Amino acid sequence: VTRLRGVTVWFTGLSGAGKSTISAALEDRLRERGLPVELLDGDVVREKLNKGLGFSKEDRDVNIRRIGFVADLLTRHGVIVLVAAISPYRSVRDEVRATIGRFVEVHVRASLDTLMERDVKGLYRKALAGEISNFTGISDPYEEPLAPELIIDTDRGQSVELSVARVLDVLEDTGHIPAAAEAVA
Ligand X SMILES: Nc1ncnc2c1ncn2[C@@H]1O[C@H](COP(=O)(O)OP(=O)(O)OP(=O)(O)O)[C@@H](O)[C@H]1O
Q: Give the x/- contact pattern for Mg ion in 19-58, rule: CB under 5 A.
A: -x--------------------------------------
Residue 39 interface partner, choices ligand X, Mg ion, none, CB cut-off 5-8 Å depending on type = none
Strand order in the sheet with 80-84: 37-41, 80-84, 7-12, 103-109, 150-153
Q: How far is the CB of 5 from ligand X (least distance, A)?
A: 27
Q: Output the residue with the shortest Cβ distance to Mg ion.
A: 20
Q: 22, 14, 9, 11: which is closest to 161 by C-alpha? A: 22
- Between helix 57-76 and helix 90-100 the angle, nearest 10°, is 20
Q: 72, 73, 84, 77: which is closest to 27 by C-alpha? A: 84
Residue 8 interface partner, choices Mg ion, ligand X, none, CB cut-off 5-8 Å depending on type = none
Q: How far is the CB of 109 from Mg ion (least distance, A)?
A: 14
Phi, psi for 116 (deg, rounded to 5): -70, -30
Residues in contact with ligand X by CB under 6 A are: 13, 15-22, 42-43, 84, 86, 108, 118, 120-121, 154, 158-160, 163
Task: Name the one range near Mg ion by CB under 5 A: 15-23, 137-145, 146-154, 170-178.
Answer: 15-23
Which residues are known catalytic residues? 87
Q: 86, 20, 27: which is closest to 57 by C-alpha? A: 86
**In terms of CB distance, is 40 or 177 closer to Mg ion?**
40
**In terms of CB distance, is 55 or 69 closer to ligand X?**
55
Residues that bind Mg ion (CB under 5 A): 20
